[in-house]
């Protein structure tokens, strides 16, 4: 007996195929946006204020779930209600990513030094929290990666929980080496750059170009890892520099 003929399916119209492509692209964009809002966000490092731990040209991964979510967790910071969903306080020593209080279009990255109610003071370049100096240990001299004509001292700082990280010190008597005592207001944190003598941070008020106290609502997340990095001279408009200026040694480096 002859096999039954299977009717051929009718070809889709160009409009139907275009609609399917649009649906696929929109779904992919929605999934990417959800992942970016809820889990992780990539950020680039545009300045040297977090040397030696983060360098200009680093492309880092920021986790969103460490501190919960606010309107600043969403791209372009839409005018959503204030407050954080499932919010958690960061820990002293975390490298935080946040919207700059005086200009929320700018994203900054600094190290968290003080929590609400903490008393912060810098004396002779050493940071004290609630009257207790953060222990420091010098670890030799090196050249500043972005300014090789400048020699800096590598200094280890150790938080009470045992976490250690390197900072840069250009020497005594720099601006910010000696400050009044700051009392961190409720709902805010105090942050400083690891490149201590080359960072406008919470030691300076917003009206003089500093950061001031950072509202907890402005936190985007915690810097976790350097994914890839390009040295100075790389440019989007010069494709050959994507290879020649690529720094493979910084791939997948945890942020301490």
Split at pLDDT 50, 70, 90, the class of 30 is low
Looking at residue 212, what is its pLDDT?
Answer: 98
- Domain-by-domain residue ranges, the chain? 17-122+176-254
Q: What residues contact residue 86 under an 8 Å CB cut-off, 6+ apart?
A: 68, 69
Whole-angstrom CA distances from 152 to 108, 111, 129, 179 are: 23, 19, 24, 21
Looking at residue 20, what is its pLDDT?
Answer: 80
Split at pLDDT 50, 70, 90, the class of 74 is confident
What is the Cα–Cα distance from 125 to 196, expressed in whole angstroms?
8
Looking at residue 22, what is its pLDDT?
Answer: 79
Whole-angstrom CA distances from 191 to 84, 118, 216, 247 are: 19, 12, 12, 28
Residue 80, number of CB atoms within 10 A of its CB: 13
Looking at residue 3, what is its pLDDT?
Answer: 53
7 has a pLDDT exceeding 90: no
CATH of 17-122+176-254, one of 2.10.109.10, 3.20.20.70, 2.60.120.10, 3.40.50.10140: 2.10.109.10
* Active-site residue flag, 110: yes
70 has a pLDDT exceeding 70: yes
Lowest mean pLDDT of 23-32, 84-93, 148-157, 195-204, name the range.
23-32
Looking at residue 90, what is its pLDDT?
Answer: 95
Catalytic residue among 64, 70, 110, 229: 110
Whole-angstrom CA distances from 20 to 14, 33, 79, 216 are: 10, 20, 33, 42
Looking at residue 25, what is its pLDDT?
Answer: 79
Q: What residues contact residue 212 under an 8 Å CB cut-off, 6+ apart?
A: 101, 102, 202, 204, 205, 206
* Active-site residue flag, 49: yes
Largest CA distance in the chain: 100
Lowest mean pLDDT of 15-19, 55-59, 127-131, 141-145, name the range.
15-19
| 207-214 average pLDDT score | 97
Split at pLDDT 50, 70, 90, the class of 232 is confident
Decide which of 87 and 53 is more confident: 53
Lowest mean pLDDT of 44-53, 214-223, 232-241, name the range.
232-241
Backbone dihedral angles phi then psi of residue 169, each to the nearest 5 degrees: -130, 125
Catalytic residue among 49, 73, 199, 202: 49
Whole-angstrom CA distances from 189 to 174, 202, 215, 217, 228 are: 24, 9, 6, 10, 29
Decide which of 1 and 223 is more confident: 223
Looking at residue 224, what is its pLDDT?
Answer: 96
Name the strand (E) or helix (H) holding 13. none
| 189-207 average pLDDT score | 97
Decide which of 16 and 215 is more confident: 215
Q: For 39-67, write each residue's pLDDT tens digit.
A: 788 899 989 999 999 999 999 999 998 99
Looking at residue 10, what is its pLDDT?
Answer: 56
Percent of the chain topping pLDDT 70:
92
Q: For 132-176, write each residue's pLDDT tens digit.
A: 999 999 999 999 998 899 999 999 999 999 999 999 999 999 999
């Amino acid at each position: 007996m002859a096999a039954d003929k299977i009717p051929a399916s009718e070809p889709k119209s160009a409009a139907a195929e275009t609609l399917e492509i649009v649906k696929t692209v929109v779904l992919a964009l929605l999934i990417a946006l959800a992942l970016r809002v809820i889990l992780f966000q990539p950020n680039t490092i545009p300045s040297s204020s977090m040397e030696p731990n983060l360098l200009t040209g680093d492309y880092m991964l920021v986790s969103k779930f460490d501190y919960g979510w606010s309107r600043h967790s969403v791209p372009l910071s839409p005018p959503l209600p204030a407050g954080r969903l499932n919010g958690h306080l960061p820990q002293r020593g975390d490298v935080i990513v946040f919207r700059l209080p005086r200009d929320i279009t700018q994203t900054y990255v600094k190290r968290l030094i003080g929590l609400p109610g903490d008393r912060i003071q810098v004396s002779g370049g050493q940071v004290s929290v609630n009257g207790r100096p953060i222990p420091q240990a010098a670890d030799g001299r090196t050249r500043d990666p972005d300014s090789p004509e400048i020699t800096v001292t590598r200094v280890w700082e150790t938080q009470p929980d045992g976490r250690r990280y390197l900072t840069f010190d250009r020497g005594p008597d720099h601006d910010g080496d000696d400050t009044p005592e700051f009392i961190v207001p409720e709902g805010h944190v105090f942050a400083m750059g690891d490149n201590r003598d080359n960072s406008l941070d919470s030691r300076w008020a917003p009206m003089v170009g500093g950061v001031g106290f950072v509202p907890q609502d402005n936190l985007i997340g915690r810097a976790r890892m350097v994914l890839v990095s390009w040295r100075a001279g790389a440019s989007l408009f010069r494709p050959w520099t994507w290879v020649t200026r690529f720094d493979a040694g910084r791939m997948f480096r945890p942020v301490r």
